[in-house]
Structure 1
Amino acid sequence: MNNNNHKYLFISILSTIILCFNSLYSFSQFFSNEQNPPGVKWEQINTSNFQIIYPTVLSDEARRMANTLEHIINGVSKSLNKTPRKISIILQNQSVISNGFVQLAPRRSEFYTTPPQNLDFQDWLNSLAVHELRHVVQFDKLTPGLKAPFFEELALAIFGISLPPWFFEGDAVGIETALSHAGRGRLPEWELIFRTNTLSNKTYSYSKNYLGSFKDRTPGYYQLGYFMTTKLRRDFGKGIMDSIMSRISRNPVRPYNLSNSIKKFTGMSSRTLHDSTITELKQLWQNQANLVRPSEYPKLNKRKDELPADYLFPVRIFSNKTIVLKHSLNNTPSLILIDESGNEKTLKKIGFQTEPNFKYAAGKLVWDELRFDVRYFKRSFNVINTYDIKSGVYKQITNKSRLFSPALSADGKKIVAVKVREDNRNLLVELDSETGTELKEYLTKSGQTLQAPSYNDSGDKIICVVTSKDGSSLIEFNAADGSTVILMPFALQQISRPVYAGNSVLFRAHYNGINNIYYIAKGSSEAKALTNVSFGASNPSYHSESNTVIFNNYQVTGYDIASVTYEPKTSSSSFNSKNNFIDYAAPLVEQEANSTILDNIPNNKYSSKPFKEIKNLFYFHSVSPIAEENDQNNELNIGLKLRSNNKLNTLDLYTGYQFNSGLKRSEYLAGITYKRFYPIFDLRYINRARQVNVRQNNSLVPVNWRENFTEMEVSVPFTFNKLNKTYNMGFLSSSSYTSRYEIQNKPGNFIENLEFPMKYTAYFSRNTQRSLRDLAPRWGQNFSISYFHLPFENQLNGTLLAFRSTLFAPGLFSNHSFQTSFNYQESNGAYEFNIEIPKISGYNNLRPTASLRNTLLIDYRFPLFYPDAEIGPLAYIKRIKGGLFADFENIGKGAAFQPRTFGLELSADMNLMRFFLPDFDLAGKLIFSNELRNNKPIFEIGFTYNY
């Protein structure tokens, strides 16, 4: 669920970790396969329809969720005419990322309990429950008979192939809106990009709006899907979703199944539904704009091009300079100083944030950043950072904290931030800005969520957004005694980023149906409008010297900087204050007739009991196909594998059978991975057929045998991040035992048992964060070293030492990348012919010259253009890339320093058959050799994909 920014953040972090681990050898997934720290104690509540698994500290929230889930299940299921099977709900309280997902194989849903700092006007877990439970219903509606112990992976595959994300996420957003008083369908921020593009005549194709772009802002599949699925229900009634999914379920392998089924019932394909939705929305949004009659606000920033970028949280310092947090497609997030001529100076590049934010006071900047645990990626932290503009000194003043949206006092000596405890209780804390020491805590009522605090000029009051079951409001804390005052009635409004302007309070809200800047004067509880923008205003700050409010004003190229004179007495007189929001989901609310479902949650008493890992180690869920190339030939191994993964991701197990089609023999395999503790333990076994050709009596004779091969590995990974850099390091060691039997044509020197060869690998990487357009990290250093030997083997000897490295540096222009990879190995004895380092381009088409000792691979890669071009429904091409390379082999020892191969490559990033994931890369490589005997170029085609 969640704001898609959080899901993109979740994906981005996982992708970064994966890329850093694999950069030596070569984002995003929606589901996490990581672990909690072993110290978390788990309990469970079992109801008729749910098993709620939760840390003991969340017992109150778990009982509340047990009641909530049981209460809403029928309402969430009704329009799909399907009551789902019992499912495990895991409450995750170790992460500071607000998220949720439903997963099969194993069947479970995970709720990340920390509420976001841009929460809408309802309880976070209630909203999450409606959204994620709708996904559970969708899974069971589409694949009702496919379940554990054999078919969950098949069900997941059918779901992913049959339903694009825009459909299942859009439907879930529609339900979260229809079954509550809030939901993202009621937020002007939710539709901001879509509405701005439409009213600015940026009419993009179905593929571009759905699959995204490297050059333009597009709404995203959540927003697009909400409007398209709501359009279906508006025009064709509440049963249309049931009809479409029932038809898909009856024939799940039909090509373009969703579009075909939509056409069956509506006469429209997915593309024509998209076009029809935009046509209707454009008319509705244009009528809204005519009623609002927006004002113009000149922008204060100067853009050099039309590439989308956001100049967020503008704050005026002195009289002619502005500081912003800049987000763009070309560069990673940075704190920027803009002078009166529009020139931009980077003050500090920052790292991942759960929500974009920073505050300024007394020559200092403060912001929060995400830090993930070095081993257990279910646990993460949010830390406070400061930067002194004059001295250029950066500090991280907290460690392993759960603090959000920090703000400085006017004198720069104190920081206030929202703290979310592991029991999900919200409070405010004050910190010393130099040391990070907690000075004071401000408690709130149970059930209240806090967002975005800010000090007044004297530092004796703190304003903050407060959200409860009644909606949102502003709460003011008195620093002297900790008392609180609610400044205005709770309302169904997404209120954000309040700041003081003298004795008044500025904030963003959407009373007229569009995000604008509002204020409440001292002694008043009435919100009055200060701006009347076309698309959306946010992030106000007050500059007392000029008596102006600086704010963000959204345009088609992103958030610009604007200002308005602060004149409270007359500011709202000419603005239309009527709520003109286009309530697109209103027919859904009528269809469901259950929008108060979350208002009357029962309080039944459910018993709990411990959830012991030892009793829940195994969950057999799927029989998976095996189709992989044999490591001895080009033939395939074909088979089946029975898989088990427990629900806390600590034990993975498989056992299976495969047929070696090259040798026409059966093979048997099994494996187990245990990940609860700091080291990760792997044990793998296979009984397999083998064959080699041995020269005997001047002829080649095949030697056949079977062998039991058992391999053990222990790995200790470390991952940590700071600012815009991610570090990975670790160590792994492995050994194996091989026992050979049924040997045919046995040579005299044949070894029947190979006892415990050892392998050790240590690695280290340091890479900078990548922007959307970057082809590689701007800066990166990646190294690994491996050593192989045979300490327990009497019949064999030999060693192998291998070193691998990859370095990244920026190219000549934006998003260009220069990459070098130097690799070295030295081997003897039994390892003499092993190759453990990357090879040069075209290696398999060249005649070997000598034993491979080293390679130096040099690449220069660059984007060429961004076509956003469609080849019908087959492919959507986002980016065309080019590259030049020169590869050296066995350099040194008197060899001439010249590349053995060199050439160029051309590749394209694309989506195939309108699948959102995976992203495909189709590449062609033209390779030239410096060898006179082989002057014909080599042409290679590569086809890769990533998540």
Structure 2
Amino acid sequence: MNKFFPPYLPPMKKVLFVCLLLMVAAYAQAQQFGGNPPSIRWEEINTDTVRIIFPQGMDSTAQRVSNIVHWLAKNNPAPLGHRLFKVNIVLQTQTTIANGYVSLAPFRSEYFLTPVLNNFELGSINWPEALAVHEFRHVQQFNNFRNGVSNAAFYLFGESGLLVATGAAVPNWFYEGDAVYNETITTNQGRGRLPFFLNQYKSLWLSDKNYSWMKLRNGSLKDFVPNHYPLGYLLVNYGREKYGLDFWSKVTQDASAFRGLFYPFQKAIRRYSGVSYKAFRDDAFDYYKKLSGVTGDKVIATQQKINQGTKAGIQDITPIKKNFVTNYFFPYQLGSDSLLYLKTTYRQRPAFYITGGAGEHRLRTKAIALDEQYSYRNGKIVYAAYEPDARWGWKDFSVIKVLDIHSGQEKTIAHRTKYFTPDISPDGSKVAVVEVFPGRRGQLLILDANDGKVVQQFHSTEISLFTDPKFIDDNSLVTAVRLSDGKMALAIADISVGSVERLTIPSYGVLGYPNVNNGVIYFTASFSGNDELYALKLGDKKVFRITQTSLGNYFANASAQKLVWSGFTANGYQLKQMNQDETAWTEVSEMEITIPVPPFPVAHSNEVHDILLNGVPDRNFSVTRYRQGGHLFHFHSWRPYFEDPDFTYSLYSDNFLNTLSTELFYHYNRDDKTNGVGVNFLYGAWYPYINGGLEYTFNQPVTINNKASQINRMETRIGLSLPLDFTRGRSHKNLYAGTDYVFDQQIFKGTYKDSFNNTNFSYLHHYFSWSQFIQQATQHIYPRLGYSLSLNHRHAISLYDSYQFIGTASIYLPGFFSTHNIIFRGSFQQRDTVNILFSNQFVNARGYNDYYFSRMWRLSANYHFPILYPDWGFANILYFQRIRGNAFFDFERVYSKNKLITRDLRSVGGELYFDTNWWNEYPLTFGIRFSHLLDNELSGATQKNVFEFLVPIVIPR
């Protein structure tokens, strides 16, 4: 969450080279700096192939990851090349966010070991193992793309240069598609076998949504467009199926070497496939459409599939909104004609709703959460909410909230926990939750619904993770369990005796979202190649398929009369229903369960078999302590930066735990011909950040009393800052405060050096910011409710009596429509009138020249609104995602030195912004501003109508 939302972008008077800006900005990593508390004791496994850095107590996970990485490095399935450079992998255990990444600058990988609880999204393979087979593929990609021009970029600019070069040569869809392919061929599952993953494109084909290639690459703010993961997998899998296992090796080698300087990737595909890039894509989509049965009339095909297995067909409950995406999750029947559900749209935040004869009624906006899951029974909603630690960015929690739908009161019954997917018992006295231990086996807990205390625990050596617990009655519950070998089954937990018993035979077909009614467990499973609804009779344990549709069916809720659920479509998850007496149940054999059907064939899957069960050895690597003090510096990049008249060349270092960032630099000013060297650093391993720097400038020319001289100037800076995150409930809250001490020393040189006294002065800079904003929906330009406050005070403490204070406050309010914003902003700045030491920080009224008076304040009003969502681009260079406008009024007042004379500067006008992507990957917002000045300039001629071009002013270095 951003800590500050500027209501407009100031104009840049010097427009920098946009292409360079985009390339550098796109690769700035959104990582947590100083994210772990210093109390963690780190250990390492260090070999010639990999260094695994992990918290003490995670030895078994680190050993397993190390064995998988060594197997992949040695055997190299579906190779892209054979280069191998050592990588550092950090295992993170403090966060509840499931993720992983590999990056350059520095070359490292991080695994976040809390798994995704949605079984259908990423599968049921042991999470650290799934991360290893996916993320190490990215390591192999970076290793083998270092050739030709990309290798030259590495030698010229370090890892930053390599990152930019390979990112320009090889599209992001290949990186992720190839990694998904790797996880699919090296395991018995992988996303390439999951209907949830592959149905995204199938939904577009069934709806006859023939989006342009640029829309598929860049996404949309109004339509559902799958991201680059499924797109990449479909193309990568097709390329290997059609042109051989080595096809992408040849393509990426040529592309990363920039063989064919412009569009090298597209040219390489033509070179090795014999068809154009466009024809290759079209052929791939046609291949999958035929496999899906999506041919001819799409509507007829959909109707034929959707009515299979039912007597009267499936009824849609909710009308489809075609102008923006709407999702309905986890419907619960409250009566004969009332439903409770969680609703999210591209225009609205997630909220609980009830619909019935009187229409739709919103109960309450849901607290910030990592997923959509919740449970309901007897007037109580229970769900897991996200809460970060105040200071440590890689430490956060999943807490349990209980909402009374009658009173609207919500309470938290478990604090600073890692509890997920709760369910409440029929008598309301107990809550079942899944507790996750990152990298280890999870357990099923029964909590007291009043105070959150643990009443009972369930765990098993055969079960790696419990998911989706659902009470059958007050003394038993059903849960979907992930087994140690990656298979899944339904199981029943008996609270009275503390036992767990399997209900279904294990399968690599994922299953979940159970619901119990009248002795029958309804659930979703992927046995047939699609996520269908199934039923298990508790009496005889027989399994029946209820639906046979084209797309996924989830979150079933059964009553004696109806079965309701959410069906996935290209317009979002839509509510559907069937009458119980009209359903046709088809009994499912054990073979259908144990041998699930993949949605599409996996290319060359017969050449590589599951490595996790049989291939990976159980080697025991040496474990030693990882001493942070001995690994503070890792220089990875070196690059120039020029902003006239200053030229800077910097050497960058970031350590692997991301607690120290260092810059060594040389600078040259071509106006006064001065040279200088310096260092900047930021240390984040302790509770406050420590920042500092030193810059020494040689022979800077000065003229005093008509005497020319030179000075050597040294500026030293040291400071403390504290970034805090108090996000709770439905709003993001952030505080940032700090103080810097700056010491400036000037030493005279040259002929007249003895005529002057060396001088030095120092000052303090205090800063404070606070912001609070509610969540944003996809189409929200800014938060619809919130405020921010920023205060800065600089004051000299030696030699001079100078100061400067500036404060800025903003208020964010909803506009007349759900995607409109009203923003009021006020700024105040005051400085001393004798020695002006500090540069101007004030943003003047729009359209006017910059002024720096002893006192200035400004009030502004802005009305932001979307105009158009073009979803259009050209030449794979520039893509327009949204065009939006802003109408504004600024009122500024400036004061004379004695504060007795004032002048007003007022302006009205409008701004037109373009939210764009460049080269299908790099976002950039730019705009045009028209300002009409209502007052005259304070100096010089006044131009009443002013036009300005707006581009971002923050240029990554």
CA contact (8 A) 2:515 2:556 kept: yes
Q: Pairwise mapping of residues 246-395 of structure 1 onto structure 2 (< 5 A)?
A: 246-251=253-258, 254-286=261-293, 293-295=305-307, 296-303=313-320, 306-340=323-357, 343-395=359-411
Name the structure 1 match of 2:647. Answer: 638
Specify the code of the residue in structure 1 equivalent to 2:947: F
CA contact (8 A) 2:889 2:908 kept: yes
Specify the code of the residue in structure 1 equivalent to 2:104: L
Q: Pairwise mapping of residues 84-233 of structure 1 onto structure 2 (< 5 A)?
A: 84-119=84-119, 120-143=123-146, 151-233=158-240
Q: Alignment partner of 1:301: what SS?
A: coil
CA distance in 2, matches of 1:321, 1:745: 92
Name the structure 1 match of 2:679. Answer: 670
Cα offset, 1:736, TM superposition = 1.0
Name the structure 1 match of 2:456. Answer: 440
CA distance in 1, matches of 2:261, 2:155: 24
Match among 860, 882, 886 for residue 885 of structure 2? 882
CA distance in 2, matches of 1:691, 1:451: 67
Can you list the C-alpha shifts for 1:327-352, whole angstroms capped at 9, x where unaligned? 211112112222235x3222222244
1:475 maps onto 2:483 in alignment: no
Cα offset, 1:574, TM superposition = 12
CA contact (8 A) 1:75 1:594 kept: no
Query: Which region of structure 1 is more displaced relative to structure 2, 446-455 or 894-903?
Result: 894-903
CA distance in 2, matches of 1:799, 1:459: 70
1:688 maps onto 2:709 in alignment: no
Name the structure 2 match of 1:926. Answer: 930
Cα offset, 1:759, TM superposition = 1.4
Name the structure 2 match of 1:9. Answer: none
Can you list the C-alpha shifts for 1:845-886, whole angstroms capped at 9, x where unaligned? x7x595441111221111001011112222111111011111
Distance 1:460 1:492, change over 3 A: closer
CA distance in 2, matches of 1:744, 1:769: 61
Query: Which region of structure 1 is more displaced relative to structure 2, 229-238 or 350-359?
Result: 350-359
Match among 800, 808, 812 for residue 812 of structure 2? 808
Match among 711, 716, 731 for residue 717 of structure 2? 711
CA distance in 2, matches of 1:857, 1:727: 24
Name the structure 2 match of 1:553. Answer: 567
TM score, norm. by length of structure 2: 0.90
Distance 1:753 1:693, change over 3 A: closer
Distance 1:241 1:580, change over 3 A: same
Query: Which region of structure 1 is more displaced relative to structure 2, 662-671 or 404-413?
Result: 662-671
Cα offset, 1:469, TM superposition = 1.1
CA contact (8 A) 2:674 2:699 kept: no
Name the structure 1 match of 2:248. Answer: 241
Match among 737, 741, 751 for residue 735 of structure 1? 741
Cα offset, 1:937, TM superposition = 1.0
1:838 maps onto 2:843 in alignment: yes
Name the structure 1 match of 2:823. Answer: 819
CA contact (8 A) 2:194 2:598 kept: no
Specify the code of the residue in structure 2 equivalent to 1:293: K
Specify the code of the residue in structure 1 equivalent to 2:914: A
Q: Pairwise mapping of residues 719-798 of structure 1 onto structure 2 (< 5 A)?
A: 719-742=725-748, 752-791=758-797, 793=798, 795-798=799-802
Cα offset, 1:581, TM superposition = 5.3
Cα offset, 1:22, TM superposition = 7.7
CA distance in 1, matches of 2:262, 2:425: 60
CA contact (8 A) 2:7 2:823 kept: no
CA contact (8 A) 1:178 1:585 kept: no
Name the structure 2 match of 1:36. Answer: 36
Specify the code of the residue in structure 2 equivalent to 1:515: D
Q: Alignment partner of 1:450: what SS?
A: strand
Specify the code of the residue in structure 1 equivalent to 2:420: F
Name the structure 2 match of 1:61. Answer: 61
Name the structure 2 match of 1:563. Answer: 577
Distance 1:21 1:149, change over 3 A: farther
CA distance in 1, matches of 2:581, 2:588: 13
Name the structure 2 match of 1:632. Answer: none
Name the structure 1 match of 2:79. Answer: 79
CA distance in 1, matches of 2:6, 2:911: 22
Specify the code of the residue in structure 1 equivalent to 2:306: P
Can you list the C-alpha shifts for 1:430-480, whole angstroms capped at 9, x where unaligned? 122222222221112256222111111334334333343151111111011
CA distance in 2, matches of 1:504, 1:455: 12
Cα offset, 1:777, TM superposition = 0.9
Name the structure 1 match of 2:15. Answer: none
Specify the code of the residue in structure 1 equivalent to 2:712: R
Q: Alignment partner of 2:514: what SS?
A: strand
Name the structure 1 match of 2:667. Answer: 658
1:942 maps onto 2:950 in alignment: yes
Distance 1:929 1:412, change over 3 A: same
Specify the code of the residue in structure 2 equivalent to 1:521: K
Distance 1:23 1:452, change over 3 A: farther
Q: How many residues align?
A: 912
Name the structure 1 match of 2:868. Answer: 865
Distance 1:747 1:925, change over 3 A: farther
CA contact (8 A) 1:512 1:581 kept: yes
CA distance in 2, matches of 1:849, 1:624: 35
Q: Percent identity?
A: 25
Distance 1:340 1:187, change over 3 A: farther
Cα offset, 1:594, TM superposition = 3.2
Distance 1:584 1:743, change over 3 A: farther
Specify the code of the residue in structure 2 equivalent to 1:758: L
Cα offset, 1:530, TM superposition = 1.4
Distance 1:33 1:716, change over 3 A: closer
CA distance in 1, matches of 2:611, 2:683: 45
CA contact (8 A) 2:315 2:578 kept: no
Name the structure 2 match of 1:799. Answer: 803
Specify the code of the residue in structure 1 equivalent to 2:935: E
Query: Which region of structure 1 is more displaced relative to structure 2, 314-323 or 810-819?
Result: 314-323
Distance 1:574 1:735, change over 3 A: closer
Distance 1:867 1:523, change over 3 A: same
CA distance in 2, matches of 1:535, 1:557: 12
CA contact (8 A) 1:427 1:442 kept: yes
Cα offset, 1:42, TM superposition = 0.9
Specify the code of the residue in structure 2 equivalent to 1:741: I
Name the structure 1 match of 2:621. Answer: 606
Distance 1:568 1:442, change over 3 A: farther
TM score, norm. by length of structure 1: 0.90
Can you list the C-alpha shifts for 1:258-277, whole angstroms capped at 9, x where unaligned? 12222222244444332222
CA distance in 2, matches of 1:779, 1:663: 49
CA contact (8 A) 2:378 2:426 kept: yes
Cα offset, 1:132, TM superposition = 0.6
Cα offset, 1:250, TM superposition = 2.8
CA contact (8 A) 2:462 2:483 kept: no
Distance 1:514 1:382, change over 3 A: same
Distance 1:43 1:652, change over 3 A: same
CA distance in 2, matches of 1:619, 1:190: 38
CA contact (8 A) 1:453 1:465 kept: no
Distance 1:895 1:336, change over 3 A: farther
CA distance in 2, matches of 1:560, 1:459: 33
